[in-house]
A and B are shown apart, each in its own frame.
Chain A
Amino acid sequence: MPLTQIRAFHRPDHIEGVWHLLQEGPEVRLVGGGSELAIRCPSEVRVLVDLAYLGLDRIELADDGSITLGAMVTLTDMLEHPELRALPSGVIQEMMVHVGSPLLRNAASIGGHLARGWLSDVIPVLLVLDASVELYDGEYRTTTLDRYYRDGIHNGLHILTAVTIPPASNGRAAAFLRFSRSAYDHALANAACLVDIEEGRVGTARIALSAGFRAAARQPASESQLVGSGFTDENITAAVSALEIDAHSDWLASADYRSHLARTLVGRCLHLARERAGGGS
């Protein structure tokens, strides 16, 4: 059925024009790839604003090794980009092949994906890669992806314009795991981690997971069980015990089941990352 309530589709070619339209109220929505809006457009939406004409489709590499993705870069562009594939343990590729299918990834934009914020495999991985986002809300500002969700910025009025992944130092290892009922289904829970080991001890540890509708979150209590300690089975168990999991129940799975899955996935991710970091079994 056509979305008959939509009465205008705008295609501004400058950010101020988009911002001007967006401020008209909740009946205005931005279109990135359009995959979410085409099937789940809220009933109050009357006006669509396409971001395709802002030149936000580029991937740029900075001298310091950081990678900036314009908001309209597609998930396929991310999967195929050599610099992104080269990030620790090929974790972008490990995750991205599970995001829907090529039919989805060829159209879906990273900006739309992050602004949507829920049922995402991409968010936990970008959180452990310590990504930051650039927003426009009358002026440009930058914040970490972690704060973008933790402070609820993603729910406010803004245009997400870019995502930056900082350079990864050598010796880091990462892992991503998800569990879904079938290969093509949304994950019931997923987890990502990134670690590095310095002289037998964990230098950096980042863990993120999601177990339902809310955006994935970093796990500082769990991370601190590892930092500065040996990467031992006992410390991994302690990190898993310290997880704070915000799971929910629905017809697919109970919150208890999701929490159990998330703990198992984090534990497995940490073991996998240790193996990849050459840290023994």
Chain B
Amino acid sequence: MIIRFQLDGSSMETDVEPGTSLLEALRGLGATSVKDGCSHGDCGTCAVLLDGRAVAACLLFAAQVDGSSIETVAGMAGEEGLHPLQSALLDAGAVQCGFCTPGILLTALELLKNNPDPDEVEVRQALAGNLCRCTGYVKIIEGVLLGADRLAGAEGGS
């Protein structure tokens, strides 16, 4: 079946089998920043923003996103460089092997859009579905809080 959606701002049209997951469809289109860590909704590495909401791409059928807008980590950096949340994670030492990082960035991005000044508990709750096999959780949480500060600073300054 043919489905159409926006992927990081570009219009996409693709022919998928009706039982294809969104994760399989995106990776098939070359969006390999969307990682397949478990295919069972357990790890969060496949997180994408679906109409602005963070979802696990392995828990959706591709057909469900027809007409929607999908954002991946590949669309996060702008012309001026990395997104402040991306550089905050790097500066906080929150990236080890990096496999969990795209999912964590997108999940945290949704959190900061809805709650620009989260406390540590709120960050932990938001990232409850994102596993890091390198187990660097403390740095990841510090990185998200640093990103929140930087985004608030950037907004305050502009």
Contact = CB atoms under 8 A, between A and B. Distances in A.
B18 A38 contact: no
B154 interface: no
B107 A103 contact: yes
A96 to B, nearest CB: 11
Given A103-B56, A106-B53, A6 B17 contact: yes
A34 B129 contact: no
Interface string A1-40: 1111111110100000000000000000001011101110
Interface stretch (B19-27, B69-77, B82-90): B19-27
Given A4-B19, A39-B41, A104-B41, A31 B61 contact: yes
Given A4-B17, A4-B19, A50 B64 contact: yes
Nearest to B106: A103
B63 A102 contact: no
A76 interface: yes
Contacts of A5: 19
A140 to B, nearest CB: 25
Given A2-B19, A9-B1, A104-B129, A38 B53 contact: no
Interface string B19-53: 11100100000000000000111101001001001
Contacts of A39: 39-41, 58-59
A281 to B, nearest CB: 27
Contact of B126 (A4, A52, A102, A184): A102
B47 to A, nearest CB: 6
A251 B64 CA distance: 34
Contacts of A41: 19
Contacts of B56: 35, 103-104, 107
A279 to B, nearest CB: 29
Nearest to A3: B19
Contact of B41 (A11, A35, A52): A35
A103 B19 contact: no
A107 B60 CA distance: 8
A48 interface: yes
Interface residues of B, number: 34
Nearest to A80: B114
Contact of A102 (B1, B17, B107): B107
29 contacts: A4-B19, A6-B18, A9-B18, A11-B63, A11-B66, A31-B61, A34-B59, A34-B61, A35-B56, A35-B59, A38-B41, A39-B39, A39-B40, A39-B59, A100-B128, A100-B129, A101-B44, A101-B129, A101-B130, A102-B111, A103-B41, A103-B59, A103-B107, A103-B130, A106-B50, A106-B110, A107-B50, A184-B128, A184-B129
Given A48-B63, A101-B129, A104-B41, 14 more contacts: A33-B60, A38-B21, A39-B39, A39-B58, A48-B61, A50-B63, A76-B53, A100-B129, A102-B54, A102-B110, A103-B41, A103-B59, A103-B129, A106-B50
Interface of B: 1, 17-21, 24, 39-42, 44, 47, 50, 53-56, 58-61, 63-64, 66, 107, 110-111, 125-130
9 smallest A-B Cβ distances: which pairs?
A101-B129, A6-B19, A3-B19, A9-B18, A101-B128, A35-B59, A106-B53, A103-B129, A9-B63
Interface of A: 1-9, 11, 31, 33-35, 37-39, 41, 48, 50, 52, 76, 97, 100-104, 106-107, 183-184
